[in-house]
A and B are shown apart, each in its own frame.
Chain A
Amino acid sequence: MPVTSEPAELAQGLLLFIVAGILMVLVALLAGALIRRQLHHPVKAEAYECGEPAIGESWVQFDLRLYVVALVFIIFDVEIALFYPWAVVYREAGLAGLWDMLFFFGVLVVGFVYLWRFGYLDWVRSTAGQEPPGGSVAAKREAA
């Protein structure tokens, strides 16, 4: 196979690719700016919220569940990234490779089961265990 994977040549190619991409974007953005007409109006610069005046800005603190998703993602993605080299050499490693992988996998599965069991994988956290204000419907129904 005459495939070259010489680092210098690859870097050259990738650099060319990135430069070409940036050029394409610049041309696309600037070509229009030269032709089009801009009619400025203060209303056009407002945030679009369906015609309502925007209250406050959107750079606010937001739901922590997204943070949990990001954390769990990092753990699992690193896991998968570590599996890739293992998968490549697996055939030479033989049975020892399988046991290693199963051990590593087992540790992660324990973490995954923990997340599942304690509800960190639920987007809408169940409130079944909590008593809603005024007592639950089921309790009322029983009382009636």
Chain B
Amino acid sequence: MPPKVPRPDPAAAFIERTLRDWRVIAALGAVLLIAPVPLVWLGWPWIRPLLESQFWFSLILGGLAVFIVIHLDAAFILAERKLSAFIQDRKGPNRVGFWGLLQPVADGIKFLLKEDYTPKQADKPVFILAPALAFVISLAGVAIIPWFDQITWPWTGPDGETYTVVGQMASLDIGLLYLLAFGAMSVYGVVLAGWASNNKYAFYGAMRATAQMLSYEIPLGLGLLAVLLVAGSVRLEGIVESQAASGVWNVFVHPLAFLLVLIAGFAETNRAPFDLAECEQELVAGYHTEYSSMKFALFFLAEYSHMVIGSALVTALFLGGWAPLPFTSWLADNHTWWAGLIKFSVFWGKILLLIGLYMVVRWTLPRFRFDQLMRLAWKGMIPLGMVIVVVQGIATGLGWRIDPAAPWTANLLAGGLMLGINILITLGVLWLMSRSRAPVTGRQDNLPDVIVPPAEARLAR
């Protein structure tokens, strides 16, 4: 007798069929996009004074940015699964909603409803503190990202005064140091999680993550230092404005520093090819092995938020921040509301491009071995960073820099010289690499000889 197949629930079948219809998803998306418009229109008398005051505008902007970051995190999980499926010739998630578009919603519900277990051997307060800390710290960077320069509202006050607001939550004098400090603090979430779990896999993962994040913090700092030397300011908005005014983004004249910061960014966020802290084949899930339910979700959100903030930092420092087009100062002095909107969108567009790069890199490159990882940091990127900083220091001392006020020929010369230095350093590194022997690690001397028989012999057997 064949086993009884349970009859499908007609209501569930109807919901599933409805949600997998593309028209339903399109209508839902349209409603979500249009919904804020009438709300803003109805609440305009209350919203307008809020927009005029910098404090409330900053709050709205910060809330909006955090909202975008968290919802993008959910979308990235789907995007990453789809991209990996594309790269590996699979279909990826395609059950929940049309083309799997409702997968993040299903994931969210599942995170809420799954059992939340704290293992009995764990250090309970720290076990709960760790994901919370990781999450809060990962979002702290949002506060100082300059999303756009400033907006002068088209209306005037009762006495004819105009209102100008700045597109940055907090304009810190120590902007970059703040970002670096919070980047370094993200180690705490990982190491506390690994320690508090009292699980060997988690502990190994946390230890690896600590060593890795500490090591890559240094090349990151050196790469940023090269930009600071050029900009002469630690204020993020100042660095962005100098790039926007001349139109020469830092990536064009300092490609090596850009690469240094980008690679260190991959390592800081614990993503492949640097995801040693959570590599499945060795450590189950690494530092979050014992975490389930919402606490696990917080780690996941923290990782993706970290990526967004890291990309925002790279965008602001190297890719011109909100500047829409390179080699022109278009919109740099335009402070109308629509220009602000364009700048805000351009900033997010650049972030999305960088995150696309993160994902392609993750699914293309194999993982490093741990000693290779440490060698890349200490013997590759740190010496390279030192060379870049010293050379950049001398170049800045000689007065080679892009100045929007200078004639374009002088800027072309300065930019060309700096690009030339970068190319020279790259060639030097390649030459050194070609000369150095393959590094010896471990007890290589004591390994038995491995004799690979020729193909014919193997086939004959």
Which A residues contact B (CB, under 8 angstroms)?
1-5, 9-10, 12-14, 16-18, 20-22, 24-25, 28-29, 31-33, 35-39, 44-50, 54, 57-59, 62-63, 65-66, 69-70, 73, 76-77, 80-81, 83-84, 87-88, 90-91, 94-95, 97-98, 101-102, 105, 109, 112, 116, 121-124, 126-128, 132, 136-138
- Contacts A20-B66, A47-B198, A88-B228 known; list 19 others, CB within 8 Å: A13-B55, A17-B143, A32-B112, A44-B117, A45-B120, A47-B119, A54-B199, A66-B207, A69-B214, A70-B214, A73-B218, A77-B221, A81-B221, A90-B396, A97-B397, A98-B394, A121-B379, A123-B373, A137-B447
> Is there a chain A Cβ closer than 8 Å to B111's Cβ?
yes
A50 to B281, CA, bound (A): 12
What's the nearest-Cβ distance from chain B to residue A81, in Å? 7
Q: If A45-B119, A127-B443 touch, does A77 touch B217 (CB 8 Å cutoff)? A: yes
In the bound complex, residues from chain B placing their C-beta under 8 Å from that of A2 are 54, 150, 164, 166
Q: A-facing mask of B216-234, CB < 8 A → 1, else 0? A: 0110011001001100111
> Is there a chain A Cβ closer than 8 Å to B132's Cβ?
yes
In the bound complex, residues from chain A placing their C-beta under 8 Å from that of B228 are 84, 87-88
> Quick one: which of A48, A91, A105 contacts B289, CB cutoff 8 A?
A48
What's the nearest-Cβ distance from chain A to residue B184, in Å? 8
In the bound complex, residues from chain B placing their C-beta under 8 Å from that of A76 are 218, 382
Are B232 and A91 within 8 A (Cβ)? yes
In the bound complex, residues from chain A placing their C-beta under 8 Å from that of B120 are 45-46
> Is there a chain A Cβ closer than 8 Å to B21's Cβ?
no
A69 to B294, CA, bound (A): 33
Are B298 and A62 within 8 A (Cβ)? no
In the bound complex, residues from chain B placing their C-beta under 8 Å from that of A70 are 210-211, 214
A-B contact pairs, 5 of them (CB 8 A): A36-B112, A77-B217, A90-B232, A98-B393, A123-B441
Within 8 A of A (CB), among B127-169: 128, 131-132, 135-136, 139-140, 142-143, 150, 164, 166, 168-169
> Quick one: which of B54, B195, B397 contacts A98, CB cutoff 8 A?
B397
Query: Of all chain B residues, which has the CB nearest A65?
Result: B211
A16 to B200, CA, bound (A): 38
In the bound complex, residues from chain A placing their C-beta under 8 Å from that of B201 are 48-49
What's the nearest-Cβ distance from chain B to residue A75, in Å? 10
Within 8 A of A (CB), among B383-405: 383, 386, 389-390, 393-394, 396-397
What secondary structure prevails in chain B residues at the interface with A?
helix
A87 to B234, CA, bound (A): 9
Residue with the greatest number of chain B CB neighbours at <10 A, chosen from A20, A76, A90, A101: A76
Are B222 and A80 within 8 A (Cβ)? yes
A128 to B393, CA, bound (A): 40
In the bound complex, residues from chain B placing their C-beta under 8 Å from that of A66 are 207, 210-211
In the bound complex, residues from chain B placing their C-beta under 8 Å from that of A45 are 117-120
Residue with the greatest number of chain B CB neighbours at <10 A, chosen from A48, A57, A122: A48
Are B294 and A32 within 8 A (Cβ)? yes
In the bound complex, residues from chain A placing their C-beta under 8 Å from that of B217 are 73, 77
Q: If A76-B382, A109-B386, A138-B445 touch, does A29 touch B233 (CB 8 Å cutoff)? A: no
Are A36 and B115 within 8 A (Cβ)? yes
Are A124 and B441 within 8 A (Cβ)? yes
Are A3 and B166 within 8 A (Cβ)? yes
A81 to B378, CA, bound (A): 18
Query: Of all chain A residues, which has the CB nearest B165?
Result: A2
In the bound complex, residues from chain B placing their C-beta under 8 Å from that of A102 are 390, 393
A28 to B214, CA, bound (A): 30
A10 to B114, CA, bound (A): 39
Are B440 and A128 within 8 A (Cβ)? yes
Are A124 and B442 within 8 A (Cβ)? yes
Are A101 and B166 within 8 A (Cβ)? no
